[in-house]
């Protein structure tokens, strides 16, 4: 039995879960999410818990068991609490501002980068004197939030020599010494 797959998912107050025709729909105060489930996995909702079980012991079915349990758990957490990711812009002249769901990034290129974010993602930017600009992204969909963060980060990944770029708050960048250190 899968260690992750066999764990029941507790449904918090204010969250409703409906499963019909291999589609699990989770509604809560932060939003609504749906996930299609493989037919080899059955989902049972009872007494404030969600329990997943599998039809057979195939290798693929075992993998699906843990996967769908984690996806449904992320959906329940997302619609009840939500997810927040913060990005930090490290570099001289790097700036970020937003108007609604459109972010404007100045990352050292000749032109500023404008990105329109999905409606499910809420964005706030903060620029304080003598501190790196911060971009705070909030959503109920963990997968979409990670995708948006990866897209923003891809415009200027942190480089290992000076540490400049777009990085997550609290992320440790593995630094390298330059060529002057290897000459000795």
User: CA of 155: how far to CAs of 40, 47, 112, 165, in Å?
Assistant: 40, 47, 11, 9
pLDDT (tens digit, 9 = 90+) per residue, 143-156? 999 999 999 999 99
SS3 111: coil
The closest alpha carbon to 68, from 150, 156, 130, 9, belongs to 9
78: which residues sit within 8 A by CB, 6+ positions away? 28, 30, 31, 33, 139, 140, 141, 142
Q: Which sequence spans correspond to the domains of the chain?
A: 9-80, 83-168
pLDDT at site 66: 92
Statement: residue 6 has pLDDT above 90: no
Whole-model pTM: value is 0.89
Rounded-to-integer distance, Cα 164 and Cα 7, Å: 42
The CATH T-level fold of domain 9-80 is Outer Surface Protein A; domain 3 (3.90.930)
Indicate if 83-168 has the same CATH topology as 9-80: yes
The answer on pLDDT for 24 being more than 90 is yes
Q: CATH number of the domain at 83-168, please?
A: 3.90.930.12
**41-99 pLDDT tens trace:** 999 998 889 999 998 989 999 999 999 999 999 999 999 999 999 999 999 999 999 99
């Amino acid at each position: 039995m899968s260690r992750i797959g066999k764990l029941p998912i507790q449904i918090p107050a204010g969250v409703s879960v409906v499963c019909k025709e291999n589609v699990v729909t989770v509604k809560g105060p932060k939003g609504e999410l749906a996930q299609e489930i493989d037919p080899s996995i059955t989902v049972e909702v009872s007494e404030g818990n969600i329990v997943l079980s599998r039809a057979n012991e195939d290798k693929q079915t075992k993998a699906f068991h843990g996967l769908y349990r984690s996806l449904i758990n992320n959906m329940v957490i997302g619609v009840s609490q939500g997810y927040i990711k913060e990005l930090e812009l490290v570099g001289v002249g790097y700036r970020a501002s937003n108007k609604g769901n459109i972010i404007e990034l100045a990352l050292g290129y000749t032109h500023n980068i404008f990105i329109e974010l999905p409606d499910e993602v809420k964005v706030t930017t903060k620029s304080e004197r003598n501190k790196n600009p911060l971009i705070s992204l909030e959503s109920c969909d963990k997968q979409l939030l990670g995708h948006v963060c990866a897209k923003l980060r891809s415009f200027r990944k942190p480089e290992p020599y000076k540490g400049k770029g777009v990085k997550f708050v609290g992320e440790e960048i593995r630094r390298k010494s330059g060529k002057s250190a290897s000459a000795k």
